[in-house]
Amino acid sequence: MLDAERHFYEHTNAAVHRGAHQLSEEGTDAYESARETIARFIGAQAGEVVFTRNATEALNLVAYAFTNGTHGGGGGRGERFSLRPGDEVLVTEMEHHANLIPWQEACRRTGATLRWVPVTEDGRLDLTDLDELLTERTKVFAFTHVSNVLGTVNPVRELAERAHAVGALAVLDACQSVPHLPVDVAELGVDFLAYSGHKMFGPLGIGVLWGRAELLDEMPVFLTGGSMIETVTMEGATYAPVPQKFEAGVPVAAQAVGLAAACDYLTALGLDRVHAHEQALTERLLRGLAERPWVRVLGPSDLRERGGAVAFVVDGVHAHDVGQVLDDRGVEVRVGHHCAWPLHRKLHAPASTRASFAAYTTPAEVDALLEALDRVPAIFGTEVTV
């Protein structure tokens, strides 16, 4: 990945899609062939892949496009991309803030109503009342593929079908799935999907928005300016075809080239193997945590319903303190609410400690975590008789 990015800067660093000289053409080629690789990685066509700065921006792009369309702005077509009072947006209680706040704001701007699917105590979506939540008023159903806190894997295909049955568009946050398991947009059945480069051995500063070609074509633009236009006069502008119309300004070319290299790397490893490896580690950690009754794991305990993000709470000890003790032994975990504050409130945990796995994580590292964790009750005097 680093070599690919370095090669771009050293050999083809030029204004992509702008210059008419040799270097610019080579840069454009590198950028567009990266788009093909990145699209293929999720079973998509290159023309359906839009580059953004991160997954957050990709989700914001969709949320803003919806509100831009309400009053006919952004060069979009069709009533589908509009939000008005009476319309509803459905999200879930387990969303990362990135797939929650853009929709809160979209509703605030337009007068539409935000609703959400609740989460059960064991960290699954509570679909009991989905028929009341997902109705003909719903214009968007935005949800995550895999929870970044609980590891819960949601039934994406079923949810997308339910959304389509009432005429809503399905928007998927795939940040936690694309790097960890085989993802094919056709199989998932959603309309939009967002993921981030930095979680899959890619560079910082690149996110991906995939959308169905006909929807991207109809969808109003979000950021405007250079590179995304067809014609411009002092009075107004018309816009370039997809995907350029969504990529205003200097594109993230070197990052795209780096991300394509990361995709090639993961493809060579085999996503099936990566997934199996991470599942084995998750099982090892869950088993170890289950042996420690002073630890409460958030999320499903059944391995078949979860991925390799394991968040837990230690009785009587704040996650910050747990993380500090682990850090002291060189075990790096995330502590806090992991950008999912409402979810933590729901699960009665002000904060949690989260271990997450990737292809490079080893069983010995899981054991090191468990060993370091055993120091926690001793240090904080919360030792319980077992």
Partner 1 sequence: MDLYQELILEHSKRPVRAGLREPFDAESHHVNPTCGDEVTLRVHVSGAGDDAVVEDVSYDSMGCSISVASASILAEEVTGGTVGHARETYEAMRRMLTSKGEDPGDEDQIGDGVALAGVAKYPARVKCALLSWSAFTDALYQAEGAKQ
Residue ranges binding partner 1 (CB under 8 A): 317-321, 324-325, 328, 335-337, 341, 344, 350-351, 379-381
Q: DSSP per residue over 68-106, as a string?
A: HHHTT-TT--STTS---BTBEEEEETT--GGGTHHHHHH
First to last CA, the chain: 48
Q: Pick between residue 104 and residue 224 the one whose CB is nearest to partner 1.
A: 104
Q: Which amino acid is residue 359, in one-letter code?
A: A
Which whole-number Å values give the CA distances from 336 to 10, 297, 319, in the listed order?
40, 15, 6
**Partners of residue 210 on adjacent β-strands:** 49, 193
Phi, psi of 28 (to 5 degrees): -65, -40
Q: Pick between residue 71 and residue 320 the one whose CB is nearest to partner 1.
A: 320
Which whole-number Å values give the CA distances from 315 to 39, 121, 351, in the listed order?
44, 17, 12
Given 107, 175, 263, 339, the catalytic residue? 339
Q: Pick between residue 4 and residue 325 the one whose CB is nearest to partner 1.
A: 325
Q: Smallest distance, Å, CB 196 to partner 1?
A: 19
Q: Measured between alpha carbons, how far is 218 from 226 in angstroms, rounded to an integer? A: 20
Q: Smallest distance, Å, CB 352 to partner 1?
A: 10
Q: Pick between residue 198 and residue 337 the one whose CB is nearest to partner 1.
A: 337
Q: Smallest distance, Å, CB 354 to partner 1?
A: 12
Q: Smallest distance, Å, CB 337 to partner 1?
A: 5
Q: Measured between alpha carbons, how far is 100 from 220 in angstroms, rounded to an integer? A: 21
Q: Pick between residue 7 and residue 375 the one whose CB is nearest to partner 1.
A: 375
Strands (E), 129-188: 138-144, 169-173
- Please check whether residue 350 is in contact with residue 344, taking contact to mean a CB–CB distance below 8 angstroms: yes
**Partners of residue 295 on adjacent β-strands:** 314
Is 263 a residue of the active site?
Answer: no
Q: Smallest distance, Å, CB 320 to partner 1?
A: 4
Catalytic residues: 339
